[in-house]
Structure 1
Amino acid sequence: MAERRSIFEDVSETQKPAATPGGISRDRTRARRLVRGWLKILFALVVVMVAVGGLTRLTDSGLSITEWAPLSGAIPPLSEADWQAEFEAYRAIPEYQLQNRGMSMAEFQVIYWWEWGHRQLGRFIGLVWAVGFLGLLVTRNIPRGWSLRLLMLGALGGAQGAIGWWMVASGLEEGMLDVASYRLATHLGLAFLILSLIAWYVMRLGRAESELLAARREGDRKLKGVSTGVMHLAFLQIIVGALVAGIDAGRNYTDWPLMAGGFTPPGMWAIEPVWRNLFENDGTVQFIHRMLGYLVLLMGLVAWVMALRSARKATRGAFHDMMAMLVVQVAIGIMTVMASAPWYMAILHQVGAVLLMVLILRARFLSMYPLKQSIRG
């Protein structure tokens, strides 16, 4: 029979150590912080990728590499013979024959390095995603429910590489001097989708799931709805902006607010069949881009006025920032057209679109998940 123990007996040696208060939540916070930091790095790299892609387009460098070699293409020409082989391949495409005939090797090397650098940056981003995702997975630092979201980012990145080649291939076809504008728009649109998803995930990971769940009950549905409208219109405007860039439509019709002295450009529907004007007529595409810009500005103004009535200081501030950047972006767009789209203004306009989209997303996020606020605000 077991010996009875006194209720006053010291049992400290047999007791299990007490659980550390907040230990589980602290581990979850650490995982969210690690994933968030990794996503911020990816976001910065994709922004640089968008800027480099824009410069590649503006310098007419995108068709300088005429094959898609995901692995071997990472090695640039290392000898004179390699350079001659690349140059001969470029000489066989319509862009050289119809536009750049007589280009020297030195001039070819300039556009080659732009395109090669653009592709290398894409490979590097894929590597950063793969190493980060696998590292977080192995160390079990991916928060519950986030694995598929992060895996989807990698899948979209892979699709972006394939779409990039699909875009370049269109410029190698007979009679083409540039890539097809609708394929360029698809390529840029997917880049902004990836950027938007990363930004949204960073915002969500910045707060605990329990906090987001509680905040959602206090969200403003009307403000969320109108900010969602601004987000969709801004995304559509970015797509049309890519069409403008694809056919150099921003370098014509440099008067504002009119176009060649009229509200609409001359010959707006001159190309047959009519639907081709939406992609190939520089006046039509620029007119649509202008009208959409005004519509985004108007929709943003409606959202901003609605946000003024919000009791949440942080939410109001987010919409102030969004509206300020929207006005700046419209002004940059007007100045870019009136200056016939020099490369530095075109890139500024493109990077401005990234910042504007992030600010729209932040305003929408805070309308859905308002921050806690004291009675004094």
Structure 2
Amino acid sequence: MSQKRSIFEDVSGDTPKEAPKAAVGVIDGGTKGARRGIRAWLIVLFALVVAMIVVGGLTRLTDSGLSITEWRPVTGAVPPMSEADWQSEFDKYKQIDQWQIENQWMTLADFKTIYWWEWGHRQLGRVIGLVWAVGFLGFAAARQIPTGWTGRLLLIGALGGVQGAVGWWMVASGVTSGEGVTTVASYRLATHLGLAFIILGFIGWYILMLGRTERDLMQARRGKEAKLFGLSTGLLHMSFVQILLGALVAGIDAGRSYTDWPLMGGQVIPPDPMMLEPAWRNFFENPGLVQFVHRVWGYLLVIFAVVVWRRARGSAHTATRFAFNAAVAAIAVQIAVGIATVVYAAPVHIAIVHQGVAILVWALILRARFLSHYPIATSVRDAA
């Protein structure tokens, strides 16, 4: 005899079926994983990359970059352990043009100083790679990477690997014998520094994203200030070009060629701006023209920054307005430091501050751009 059934029971089968589980969407999926832990890990990586840029700048300013003439990604982590090892490294350095043309005065003790700068720079690169690998593999093994973030985190590691290869490509341009080359190629230096800032930009953007929930970001995106976002993107690109131009200046010591400002050698345009053949070489190797282009682009960057800042003043969001105020203030500081760098012929302590402030400007523009894309809602009370 059949039993009575509830009118709410599924009649398609003899046994009740379990209710299907709701599919997890992108927003809810993004809440899974160790977002705070990954953000903390990325903050450590960000700090290490900043240190890497600063140490790299000091390595260049002390003319230490060519002291290690070989690329040994693994065994190179171990420094010379005996006087015989030190002498062997010094003998290798004596074979390149930099020693033969500029540094024959060096003793072994002098060589050790520049060697430690370059070794420390490379060692820091290895530490960054290790921190990335341990963090990524650890979070992946624990299945704590949020939905959609695996590719982003892999991208950072891939760019870091490319950066290591670019670093040796740069150094190899100066490790020559009989060619009269005593420094690395300026355009390779610019590529190396530019990639470092790209890596820093990705890490910084991801840190900002992980500081808020996916649901919050999705809601904030509805209030995106498209015009301001486009202008801030342009400002970021302009600042990146200025960083590359600064690397070209540093690569050929063009900052020491003309030490007057706002003129150059008493002129608006420096003498003989196109003295090299073919003409394109002047934009990379002519100290006067390279410094002139760097200055002019800086003036254009300042003008555009003011345009963007005036637009940002009309934002309805307090945090966004403050972010653009901070970015423009950092640019103003960078102008003053840049002028001082030129006037005092780029001494190490001022030149490295100039590079450090460039990092600050880059980070603050990135943050302002982020907030124009994902604004923080301002209540009526806060606005008042």
Taking structure 1 as the reference length, the TM-score comes to 0.92
Written as runs of structure 1 = structure 2, the 5 A alignment for 1:109-258 is: 109-173=112-176, 174-258=179-263
Q: How many residues align?
A: 358
User: What aligned pairs does 1:1-377 form with structure 2 within 5 A after superposition?
Assistant: 28=31, 31-173=34-176, 174-376=179-381, 377=383
Partners in 1 of 2:2 and 2:51 — Cα distance?
Answer: 73
Distance (whole Å) between structure 1 residues aligned to residue 31 and residue 38 of structure 2: 11
What code does the residue aligned with 2:347 have? Answer: P
Q: Give the Cα–Cα distance (whole angstroms) in 1 for the partners of residues 145 and 335 of structure 2.
A: 40
CA distance in 2, matches of 1:84, 1:325: 46
Per-residue CA deviation, residues 157-202 of structure 1 (Å, 9 max, x unaligned), is 0111111100000001221100000000000000000001100110
**1:219, 1:369 within 8 Å by CA — same for their partners in 2?**
yes
Deviation at 1:2, TM superposition (A): 12
Contact 1:34 1:141 in 2 (8 A): no
SS in structure 1 at match of 2:34: helix
Separation in 2 of the partners of 1:283 and 1:160? 30
Structure 2 partner of 1:19: none
Residues 44-91 of structure 1, C-alpha deviations (whole Å, 9 max, x = no match): 000000000000000000000000001110111111111111011000
Q: Quick one: distance in 2 between partners of 1:75 and 1:359?
A: 37
Aligned residues of 1:28 and 1:143 also touching (Cα < 8 A):
yes
Could you say what secondary structure the match of 2:69 adopts? coil
Please tell me whether the aligned partners of residues 29 and 208 of structure 1 are also in contact (alpha carbons under 8 angstroms): no
Residue pair 2:28, 2:215 contacting (<8 A) in 1 also: no
- How far residue 27 of structure 1 moved from its aligned partner, in angstroms, is 9.5
Aligned equivalents of 2:166, 2:199: Cα separation in 1: 14
Deviation at 1:311, TM superposition (A): 1.1
- CA spacing shift, 1:248–1:27, aligned 2, 3 Å: closer
Change (3 A) 1:271 1:338: same
Deviation per residue, 1:269-328 (Å, 9 max, x gap):
111111000100001110010011111111110010001111111111111101111111
Instruction: Note the alpha carbon deviations across 1:76-117, whole angstroms, 9 max, x for none.
Output: 111111111101100000000000013100000000011011
Specify the code of the residue in structure 2 equivalent to 1:192.
Answer: F
The change in CA–CA distance for 1:91 and 1:309 in structure 2 (over 3 A counts) is same
* RMSD, aligned CA: 1.7
Q: Percent identity?
A: 60
Alpha-carbon spacing, 1:111–1:2, altered in 2? closer, same or farther (3 Å): farther
Q: Is the 8 A contact 2:32 2:144 kept in 1?
A: no
Letter in 2 for 1:125: I
Counterpart of 1:16 in structure 2 is none
**d(CA) in 1 for partners of 2:356, 2:291:** 19
Structure 2 letter corresponding to 1:129: W
Task: Kindly state the Cα deviation for residue 149 of structure 1 after the two structures are TM-superposed.
Answer: 0.7
Equivalent position of 1:18 in the other structure: none
Measure, in 2, the Cα distance between the counterparts of 1:217 and 1:26. Answer: 20
Q: Which whole-Å CA distance do the structure 1 matches of 2:30 and 2:191 have between them?
A: 40
**Secondary structure of 1:277's partner?**
helix
Question: For residues 280 and 208 of structure 2, what CA distance do their matches in structure 1 show?
Answer: 40
Question: Structure 1 residues 314-323 or 25-34, which shifts more?
Answer: 25-34
Pairwise CA distance, 1:140: 1.3
CA pair 342-67 structure 1, distance change in 2 beyond 3 A? same
